[in-house]
Amino acid sequence: MTAVERIVVLVALAASGAGPASHAAALQQAVAGVEIDWAAGVVTASAGSAADYRLPSAQVARPGAERRARAAALGKMRAALAGLPVGPGRILAADKIDQALRRVETGSISYQSNGGVLLSLKLSFAALTGGDADKADDPATVLSVASAPLELAPVLVVQSVERSVRYAVYREGAAPSGVRALLGRRDQMGRLIVDGGLDPDKVASGHVVIYVQKVLR
């Protein structure tokens, strides 16, 4: 791959919301024992369960261990989603969490020789907000802000119209040259004021990629 081809690939990845496998530590967060990757847009809950040794064999004990591990991971996921920052002063409603948990996918599963089970459950931001987790939709826009907290669906003000995006993923630092990123600034209400001619309705129906130079905690 030539240098020019590499630049083209990197720009395409940034614009689409994809990126390297290793993300900045500032974009990795633990909430209620669950890992949230704000760059990849994925929530991961891990749990395990020992086998019931009263049962005659590891093979017989394994299904029960898997059910218990899955229930424990779902419990962690529920607690994490209850505390997930959605936007200024907003968290997920209980019914939204119930709906989201029905879209959880198995990330990994390891069957132990003694009948125990270790597993992880994953929930993408797309699935969390009611979209198709398998559909790689293009971002409505790419923003660059000096500082902002990590929020699932920040509120944007576009052409004096307030809209909440479907979901956001984040990159640490300034947007690289070649990426068309609109400037945004955070107001006292926690909204992102966006400079540029965006369609407010398009913003509300899609997701955004936000380059942030300083993550506010």
Structurally, how many domains does the chain consist of?
A: 2
pLDDT at residue 201, as a whole number: 76
In a domain, residue 26? The reply is yes
In a domain, residue 2? The reply is no
- Tens digit of pLDDT for each residue in 118-158? 999 999 999 998 866 555 566 768 999 999 999 999 999 98
In a domain, residue 202? The reply is yes
In a domain, residue 136? The reply is no
In a domain, residue 190? The reply is yes
Q: Max CA-CA distance within the chain?
A: 68
- pLDDT of 19 higher than 50: no
In a domain, residue 10? The reply is no
pTM: 0.82
Together in a domain, 124 and 147 = no
Together in a domain, 22 and 102 = yes
User: What confidence tier does 20 reach under pLDDT thresholds 50, 70, 90?
Assistant: very low
Bridge pairing between strands 207-216 and 167-172: parallel
The boundaries of the domain holding residue 165 are 141-216
The backbone torsions φ and ψ at residue 131, rounded to the nearest 5 degrees and listed phi first, read -95, -175
User: From the DSSP assignment, how many helices (H) and strands (E) are in the chain?
Assistant: 5, 12
In terms of Cβ atoms closer than 10 Å to its own Cβ (0-12, 13-18, 19+), residue 147 is exposed
Unique residue bearing structure tokens 């987790």: 133
In a domain, residue 6? The reply is no
Together in a domain, 111 and 204 = no
**pLDDT (mean) for 62-74:** 97
Q: Which residues contact 41 (CB under 8 A, 6 or more apart)?
A: 17, 124, 125, 126, 167, 169, 207
Determine the residue type at 37: D
Q: Which of 96, 128, 160 is the last residue of a domain?
A: 128
DSSP state of 83: T
Together in a domain, 123 and 22 = yes
In a domain, residue 22? The reply is yes
Together in a domain, 55 and 91 = yes
Partners of 121 in the beta sheet?
Answer: 45, 106
Task: Please report how many Cα atoms fall inside a 13 Å half-sphere around the Cα of residue 40, on the Cβ side.
Answer: 17
Q: Which residues contact 78 (CB under 8 A, 6 or more apart)?
A: 97, 101
Together in a domain, 26 and 66 = yes
What is the DSSP track for 28-59? EEEETTEEEETTTTEEEEEEEE---TTSS-HH
Together in a domain, 96 and 181 = no
User: What confidence tier does 27 reach under pLDDT thresholds 50, 70, 90?
Assistant: very high
Together in a domain, 116 and 147 = no
Partners of 117 in the beta sheet?
Answer: 49, 111
